[in-house]
């Protein structure tokens, strides 16, 4: 078997401006692009449409060739043997979920007297999304309301979710994920929220990309930790002196 | 006829926090050691980078749930479902590959939990068969060889410490500074949490260049994070006495006519079944998988699983649910908190660690302020799922929120256990671990009380709104911590292992991960696992292998 440590890198890159469809039909592409634009709308800042979330989703659904970028972003890892087998099985499920989901979007749009989801007004599109989500369209966060939540697993895979929840997660991934995957064009998503991300994945591997400027520059542990004295720990000033 | 490899002195199964120190100590002592890991041997500088999608969403490091599933249920009468419970990377380095790296020491009280509290209804409290003072020298050895940063003397309740840290802590982040401000207002002793992370100018001479903030759940392409794969494994290999067999799945520990372990049977990367004999077998797969392998290894001597004459293998599992409170700040009033920065944690406290029965529960644990994460998965409980409300929430709070987390010390219960799933099999065709768990009333009470304290700290720091995330009615294993399934103790009827991690009924079998911990600890277990493994490996090298044995005598506890 080929170990995960030895997966080959296929030197392929994704052009975010491409209109070449690898998985979707024209109709499916336009439908998902329209839905994504309602999930992450365009306002004074770019939304899913400008960030090319549709390219991101199309490549992901195409198969397993775009599942994992090489660490340095030079291409994509080619899974092998049992890992590839498991990933392909998941991909087949995901393709089915999308095809059925798109069918449902159109069906609900027609029930609201639109010719199709993609041709419906934004208001009707929102109504359809609200219906398939099963809960009212989200309202803005309030600083005065009180809510309680319970713990869940860290990480956020797309397994076992409904079509709507999957699509919402994929839109976030395409808007905020590393641009190497085809979305987040020109780091539009990152700029929208103030995430100062790396220029390339490679820059995260060797110290080129750093968030050091966002740490507190001037501090003294004796002030932050009342009662602590530097004499208790002679190494405590290294980092401060090093700056 | 299975192929047989030349016998060696020691076989170690699992090369993470438990297996790494044992590999180093035993190979440096001159013994021939073979280490197995069912996962790959990844090369950090080649395989790791700051790719949120790959590490947080597409599970590059986590076990593939289709290939290595686990099942979970809340009690013996309910149906188990497949769930990636307590996922720890299955590769050389194990959980030290992805961990945020909280490395606080356990405290004196952790080792005498039963003596301090007596029996608790529905729980199986126990003392450890050794004390803090027995582990202290090894805690120091790990801090100085593995590489831990911290501020000695800053944690007012810490036990005796023989040496300061080899590295100063990272500077505080902006949200870290808020945490100190909130804590200090309330008179809570907070300090930079010890971390498996070095800073410039450290005494070990290691470079420390990773300030990317791609940290918790990411692999580190540099050697800034201390990991077993970049410290103890290469050190063990340098002796010439150690060999790594990665992508090799150990499916059984063999038992001879005399009831001793004779070695292991494993499936190599080509799919061939091979036998590897050894004088000593060490299990360090993590508490879930170590128990599973023991249960898979039934024999004439041990029909219910290896060394399971007490019937306790798999029972008394603890999992340390990670729960937290999030604070949202007003962007018009505050400077950005940059909650996405920092190598995860930036200040913690053990102020609430020791029992205060007026709280309505016993025990406690460590808290810390931690990153909210990068943009896709930034932690914001209750974030609107879609539309303008979601976009506004991202824009308004990505830079203006912070969280304070808590490692919940769950009480051991015999009914919280690992056994073999009767139907689900893994990619090698072996029954998978089935986890049965339900929180104890003390766990629920501790969750509520502590998360409310965390909300108060956030409010003192200026949060306009706080959102609690409590423990629900089941554990999710989200801390990736596992303890207790093969508990240590002095009485063979009430425990499986003795004070050296050695099976009471199989003298050449040692279990050197968190499985031996009789109680969960209120701190992250990794430093304790490593020091424990080192201490037991010292015993194997210097006492057991020399044909001797030794028992520890503990002085009685005076309850104050």
* Cβ pair B389:A141 closer than 8 A: yes
What distances in angstroms separate CA A116 from CA A128, B17, B264, B451, one per listed residue? Answer: 11, 56, 62, 48
pLDDT for position A12: 96
CA-CA distance, B388 to A124, in Å (whole number)?
15
Residue A235 banded pLDDT, cuts 50, 70, 90:
confident
Count of Cβ atoms closer than 10 Å to residue B255 Cβ? 22
Residue A172 banded pLDDT, cuts 50, 70, 90:
very high
B163 touches chain A (CB under 8 A): no
CA-CA distance, B382 to B424, in Å (whole number)?
34
Residue ranges of alpha helices (H) inside B48-108 are: 52
A17 touches chain B (CB under 8 A): no
Chain A interface disruption, residue of B15, B157, B168, most A CBs within 10 A = B168
Residue B559 banded pLDDT, cuts 50, 70, 90:
low
Count of Cβ atoms closer than 10 Å to residue A148 Cβ? 12
Residues from chain B contacting residue A141 (CB–CB below 8 Å): 328, 382-384, 389, 392-393, 396-397
CA-CA distance, B261 to B265, in Å (whole number)?
11
- Percent of chain A clearing pLDDT 70 (strictly above): 97
Q: Helix or strand or coil: residue B402?
A: strand
Length of chain B in terms of residues written: 560
Residues from chain A contacting residue B144 (CB–CB below 8 Å): none
Quote the minimal CA–CA distance from A72 to chain B in Å: 7
* Cross-strand partners of B298: none
What distances in angstroms separate CA B132 from CA A93, B119, B410, one per listed residue? Answer: 51, 21, 20
Mean pLDDT of chain B: 97
Q: At what angle do helices A53-62 and A26-39 cross, to 10 degrees?
A: 130
From B217, B284, B310, B249, select the one nearest B432 (Cα to Cα): B249
Average pLDDT estimate for B26-41: 98
Judged by average pLDDT, the poorest of A233-237, B40-44, B165-169 is A233-237
Quote the minimal CA–CA distance from A238 to chain B in Å: 6
Residue of A nearest to B164 (CA): A233
pLDDT for position B1: 59
CA-CA distance, B294 to B39, in Å (whole number)?
19
Question: What stretch of H or E contains B35?
Answer: strand B33-36
pLDDT for position A243: 40
What's the pTM value of the predicted model, to 2 decimals?
0.97
B60 touches chain A (CB under 8 A): yes
Residue ranges of alpha helices (H) inside chain A are: 26-39, 53-62, 81-111, 122-133, 163-176, 188-193, 221-224, 238-242
Strand order, beta sheet including B322-328: A149-150, B465-470, B322-328, B401-407, B367-370, B345-349, B190-191
When CB atoms are compared, the residue of A1, A150, A210 closest to B270 is A1
B392 touches chain A (CB under 8 A): yes
Report residue B283 as tokens: 């299990």
Is residue A240 scored above 60 in pLDDT? no
Residue of A nearest to B163 (CA): A233
Report residue B251 as tokens: 């499916």
* Cβ pair B201:A69 closer than 8 A: no
B336 touches chain A (CB under 8 A): yes
Residue of B nearest to A233 (CA): B152
Is residue A109 scored above 60 in pLDDT? yes
CA-CA distance, A189 to B376, in Å (whole number)?
10
pLDDT for position A154: 74
pLDDT for position A234: 74
Listed in order, strand segments (DSSP E) in B197-241 are: none
Residues 443-462 of B with CB under 8 A from A: none
Residues from chain A contacting residue B376 (CB–CB below 8 Å): 156, 172-173, 176-177
When CB atoms are compared, the residue of A5, A224, A237 closest to B180 is A224
Q: Summarize pLDDT for B296-350 with one digit per residue, the tens.
A: 999 999 999 999 999 999 999 999 999 999 999 999 999 999 999 999 999 999 9
Q: Are B537 and B42 in contact (CB under 8 A)?
A: no
Q: Are B220 and B61 in contact (CB under 8 A)?
A: no
Q: In a 10 Å sphere around its CB, with 0-12 CB exposed, 13-18 middle and 19+ buried, how is residue B419 labelled?
A: buried
A155 touches chain B (CB under 8 A): yes
Q: Summarize pLDDT for B41-77 with one digit per residue, the tens.
A: 999 999 999 999 999 999 999 999 999 999 999 999 9
Residue A239 banded pLDDT, cuts 50, 70, 90:
low
Which residues touch B251 (CB under 8 Å, ≥6 apart)?
B265, B266, B267, B293, B296, B428, B430
Q: Helix or strand or coil: residue B423?
A: strand
pLDDT for position B557: 85
Residues from chain A contacting residue B166 (CB–CB below 8 Å): 235
pLDDT for position A242: 44
* Cβ pair A190:B375 closer than 8 A: yes
* Cβ pair B477:A86 closer than 8 A: no
Residues from chain A contacting residue B41 (CB–CB below 8 Å): 3, 5
Residue A233 banded pLDDT, cuts 50, 70, 90:
confident
Residues from chain B contacting residue A86 (CB–CB below 8 Å): 64, 66-67, 427
Length of chain A in terms of residues written: 243
Is residue B205 scored above 80 in pLDDT? yes
Is residue A196 scored above 60 in pLDDT? yes
* Cβ pair A168:B382 closer than 8 A: no
Is residue B560 scored above 80 in pLDDT? no
CA-CA distance, A63 to A60, in Å (whole number)?
7
> First CA to last CA across chain A, in angstroms?
48
Q: Summarize pLDDT for B72-120 with one digit per residue, the tens.
A: 999 999 999 999 999 999 999 999 999 999 999 999 999 999 999 999 9
Average pLDDT estimate for B509-526: 98
Q: Are A180 and A201 in contact (CB under 8 A)?
A: yes
Chain A interface disruption, residue of B38, B53, B152, most A CBs within 10 A = B53
Q: Helix or strand or coil: residue B503?
A: strand
Residues from chain A contacting residue B84 (CB–CB below 8 Å): 153, 157
Average pLDDT estimate for A16-39: 98
From B451, B356, B319, select the one nearest B109 (Cα to Cα): B356
Q: Helix or strand or coil: residue B47?
A: helix
Residues from chain A contacting residue B65 (CB–CB below 8 Å): 159
Average pLDDT estimate for B218-231: 95
Average pLDDT estimate for A79-85: 96
Which residues touch B555 (CB under 8 Å, ≥6 apart)?
none
CA-CA distance, B382 to A143, in Å (whole number)?
12
Residue A237 banded pLDDT, cuts 50, 70, 90:
low
CA-CA distance, B122 to B145, in Å (whole number)?
40
Residues from chain B contacting residue A65 (CB–CB below 8 Å): none
* Cβ pair B60:A68 closer than 8 A: yes
Residues from chain B contacting residue A195 (CB–CB below 8 Å): 340, 374-375, 398
Residues 90-149 of B with CB under 8 A from A: 91
Longest dimension (CA), chain B: 75
When CB atoms are compared, the residue of A129, A155, A235 closest to B164 is A235
Establish, for the pair of chains A and B, how many residue pairs have beta carbons separated by less than 8 Å: 322
* Cβ pair B168:A239 closer than 8 A: yes
Average pLDDT estimate for B461-467: 98
* Cβ pair B57:A228 closer than 8 A: no
Residues 19-78 of A with CB under 8 A from B: 38-41, 43, 45, 47, 67-69, 71-73
Q: Are strands B33-36 and B242-245 parallel, antiparallel or unpaired?
A: parallel
Residues from chain B contacting residue A83 (CB–CB below 8 Å): 64, 67
pLDDT for position A152: 85
């Amino acid at each position: 078997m080929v170990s995960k440590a030895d997966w080959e890198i296929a030197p392929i890159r994704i052009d975010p401006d491409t209109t070449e469809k690898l998985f979707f039909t024209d109709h499916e592409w336009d439908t998902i692009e329209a839905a994504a634009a309602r999930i992450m709308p365009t306002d004074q800042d770019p939304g899913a449409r400008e960030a090319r979330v549709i390219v991101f989703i199309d490549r992901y659904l195409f198969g397993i060739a775009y599942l994992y970028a090489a660490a340095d972003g030079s291409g994509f890892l080619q899974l092998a043997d049992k890992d590839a087998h498991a990933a392909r099985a998941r991909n087949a499920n995901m393709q089915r979920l999308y095809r059925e989901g798109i069918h449902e979007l159109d069906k609900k749009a027609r029930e609201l007297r639109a010719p199709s989801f993609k041709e419906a007004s934004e208001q009707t599109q929102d109504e359809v999304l609200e219906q398939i989500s099963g809960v009212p369209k989200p309202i803005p966060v309030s600083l005065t309301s009180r809510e309680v939540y319970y713990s869940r697993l860290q990480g956020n895979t797309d397994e076992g979710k409904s079509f709507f929840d999957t699509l919402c997660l994929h839109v976030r991934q395409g808007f905020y994920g590393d641009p190497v995957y085809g979305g987040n064009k020109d780091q539009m998503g990152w700029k929208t929220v103030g995430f100062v991300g790396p220029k390339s994945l490679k820059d995260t591997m060797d110290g080129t990309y750093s968030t050091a400027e966002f740490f507190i520059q001037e501090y003294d542990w004796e002030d932050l930790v009342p009662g602590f004295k530097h004499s208790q720990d002679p190494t405590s000033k290294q980092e401060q002196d090093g700056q | 006829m299975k192929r047989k490899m030349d016998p060696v002195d020691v076989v170690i199964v699992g090369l993470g926090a438990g297996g790494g120190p044992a590999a180093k100590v035993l190979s440096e002592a001159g013994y021939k050691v073979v280490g197995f890991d069912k996962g790959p041997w990844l090369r950090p500088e080649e395989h790791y980078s700051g790719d949120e999608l790959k590490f947080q969403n597409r599970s590059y490091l986590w076990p593939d749930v289709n290939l290595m599933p686990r099942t979970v249920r809340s009690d013996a009468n309910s149906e188990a479902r497949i769930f990636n419970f307590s996922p720890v990377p299955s590769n050389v380095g194990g959980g030290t590959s992805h961990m945020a790296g909280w490395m606080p020491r356990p405290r004196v009280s952790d080792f005498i939990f039963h003596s301090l509290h007596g029996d608790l209804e529905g729980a199986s409290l126990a003392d450890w068969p050794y004390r803090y003072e027995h582990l202290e020298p090894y805690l120091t050895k790990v801090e100085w060889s593995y590489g831990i940063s911290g501020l000695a003397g800053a944690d007012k309740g810490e036990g005796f410490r023989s040496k300061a840290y080899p590295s100063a802590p990272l500077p505080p982040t902006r949200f870290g500074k808020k945490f100190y401000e909130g804590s200090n207002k309330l008179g809570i002793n907070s300090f930079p949490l010890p971390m498996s992370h070095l800073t410039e100018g450290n005494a070990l001479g290691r470079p420390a260049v990773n300030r990317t903030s791609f940290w918790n759940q990411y692999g580190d392409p540099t050697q800034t994070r201390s990991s077993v794969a970049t410290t103890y494994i290469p050190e063990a290999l340098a002796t010439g006495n150690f060999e790594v067999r990665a992508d090799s799945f150990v499916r059984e520990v063999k038992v001879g006519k005399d009831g001793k372990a004779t070695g292991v049977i494993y499936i190599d990367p080509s799919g061939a079944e091979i036998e590897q004999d050894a004088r000593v077998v060490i299990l360090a797969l993590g508490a879930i998988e170590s128990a599973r392998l023991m249960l898979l290894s039934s024999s004439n001597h041990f029909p219910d699983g290896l060394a399971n004459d007490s019937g306790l293998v798999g029972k008394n599992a603890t999992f340390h649910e990670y729960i937290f409170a999030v604070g949202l700040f007003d962007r018009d009033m505050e400077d950005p908190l940059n909650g996405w920065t920092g190598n995860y944690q930036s200040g913690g406290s053990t102020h609430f660690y020791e029992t205060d029965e007026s709280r309505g529960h016993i025990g406690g644990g460590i808290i810390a302020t931690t990153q909210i994460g990068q943009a896709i998965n930034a932690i914001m409980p209750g974030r609107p799922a879609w539309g303008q409300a979601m976009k506004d929430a991202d824009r308004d709070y990505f830079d203006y929120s912070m969280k304070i987390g808590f490692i919940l010390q769950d009480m051991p219960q015999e009914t919280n256990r690992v056994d073999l799933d009767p139907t689900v099999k893994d990619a090698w065709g072996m029954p998978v671990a089935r986890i049965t768990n339900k929180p104890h009333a003390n766990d629920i009470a501790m969750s509520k009380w502590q998360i409310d304290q965390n909300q108060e700290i956030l409010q003192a720091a200026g949060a306009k709104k706080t959102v609690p995330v409590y423990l629900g009615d089941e554990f999710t294993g989200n801390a990736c911590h596992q303890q207790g399934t093969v508990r240590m103790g002095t009485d063979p009827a009430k425990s499986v292992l003795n004070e050296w991690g050695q099976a009471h009924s199989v003298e050449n079998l040692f279990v050197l991960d968190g499985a031996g911990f009789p109680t969960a600890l209120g701190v992250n277990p990794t430093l304790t696992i490593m020091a424990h493994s080192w201490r037991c490996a010292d015993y194997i090298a210097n006492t057991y292998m020399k044909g001797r044995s030794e028992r520890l005598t503990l002085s009685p506890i005076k309850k104050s």
